Structure 1
Amino acid sequence: MGLLDSLIGAATSAAQGSRPGSQDPANGMPGGLDPQLLITLVGSLLASSGGLQGLLAKLQSGGLGEAAQSWVGTGANQPVTGDQLGSALGPDLMGMIAGQLGGSREQASGTLAELLPGLIDQLTPQGQLPADDGLGGLGALLGGGNGAGNAGDLMGMLGGLMQSRR
């Protein structure tokens, strides 16, 4: 489960880092983010972008190459604004993400601007892209058809990860 654990850990770490001390008492997730929604969002973003490498290429062509490379590298992560990220990813992708989050494109781009730098940083701890480009284990879990798990398993796993990070 290595890559899946990395994705879950990265997403929850990124969320924790962006909203220090803010947790939803109902699910223990930082900032009130639903863990299943967070994993679905990450999976959709990676899948619609052609994996992590495709997402980085999109950011590069959208003028955020230097910031994105800082997230992959081992140095400090450069911040981006929601407007910058929304512009780089485009209205179609931001509309899809907004639909999943149940909010506006502006809210979606703001949320991604908070989460994406830490997420990519966690997925590339040695400054290198993962071998399967971030899609392998996540797709199997979300599909649930390969015996990889289901939503209940995912919630339990995320809950355990959150407990171990406190």
Structure 2
Amino acid sequence: MTDLTNIVQILAQQALGGQQQSQSGLGGILGSVLGGLGGGQQQQSQGGLGGVLGSVLGGLTGGQQQAPQGQAGGFNASSLLVAVVPLVLGWIQQNGGLQGALAKLQGSGLGDQVQSWVDPSQGNGQVDVQQIQSLFGGSQVEQVAQQANVPTNEVYGAISTVLPQIIDSLTPHGNDTDQNEANDDIQNVMNMVSGFLK
């Protein structure tokens, strides 16, 4: 079992301002965050990764947020971190699962950082926003930025914060982690997120 659900739960709790909701477990917490981010709108017809992101961010256009720690229109930096989780997990799936994504990251000059994320004994090395920009497709990032009413750079910044945490959480046993188990956990979280937003 990987720690992916734990990291998503922690991010979701941060987005809720640390409040414990009446729902229990990751599903309840995610539902609270994603439901709250939608401004109370029913998101019934959205599907796919774009729909998930659109739904998460659909109600967040109430104001500009320039400072990463700022809060505007019900939107905060923690909410953006939750919103990019499906983007990061989708990217991992599109690159052939955990193993393929790690190879792509290493091939992009992030070998040292990736090793620090995978190795439980090392701290998580930082990743440059410019390196993230070369990896993640502009259209999905622009969609998130438009709907959250933030500069695309902030979305890339959120990805650079979340990506190391997700890779770390997917590899609790370092290089000995079961890749299939990690990929199953990614799919489970993606199903859970899309389940709340269909």
TM-score bracket for this pair, using the shorter chain length: 0.5 to 0.7
Matched, 1:135 2:183: yes
The unaligned stretches of length 5 or more in structure 1 are 153-166
Does the Cα contact within 8 Å between 2:84 and 2:158 map onto a contact in 1? Answer: no
Q: Residues 67 and 34 (structure 1 numbering): CA distance in 2 closer, same or farther, change over 3 Å?
A: closer
- State percent identity of aligned pairs: 28
Equivalent of 2:107, from 58, 61, 68?
61
Matched, 1:121 2:168: yes
- Looking at structure 1, the residues matched to 189 and 172 of structure 2 have their Cα atoms a distance apart, in angstroms, of 23
Bigger shift: residues 128-137 or 59-68: 128-137
- Looking at structure 1, the residues matched to 85 and 124 of structure 2 have their Cα atoms a distance apart, in angstroms, of 22
TM-score, length-scaled by structure 2: 0.54
The unaligned stretches of length 5 or more in structure 2 are 18-31, 37-75
- Alignment-derived partner of residue 150 in structure 1: 195
- Report how many aligned residue pairs link the two structures: 135
Equivalent of 2:8, from 11, 14, 17?
11
Does the Cα contact within 8 Å between 2:81 and 2:162 map onto a contact in 1? Answer: no
- Looking at structure 1, the residues matched to 158 and 144 of structure 2 have their Cα atoms a distance apart, in angstroms, of 9
- Looking at structure 2, the residues matched to 130 and 7 of structure 1 have their Cα atoms a distance apart, in angstroms, of 13
Does the Cα contact within 8 Å between 1:43 and 1:135 map onto a contact in 2? Answer: no
Q: Which protein shows a greater Rg?
A: 2
- Looking at structure 1, the residues matched to 9 and 191 of structure 2 have their Cα atoms a distance apart, in angstroms, of 21
- Alignment-derived partner of residue 95 in structure 1: 138
Q: Shift in Å at residue 96 of structure 1?
A: 4.4
| Alignment RMSD (CA, Å) | 3.4
Q: Residues 106 and 39 (structure 1 numbering): CA distance in 2 closer, same or farther, change over 3 Å?
A: closer
Q: Residues 142 and 121 (structure 1 numbering): CA distance in 2 closer, same or farther, change over 3 Å?
A: closer
Question: In the TM superposition, what whole-angstrom CA distance separates every residue of 1:113-138 from its partner, at most 9, and x where no partner exists?
Answer: 11111111111122133331633244
Question: In the TM superposition, what whole-angstrom CA distance separates every residue of 1:78-133 from its partner, at most 9, and x where no partner exists?
Answer: 1112112223x1xxx33244045234553332111111111111111221333316
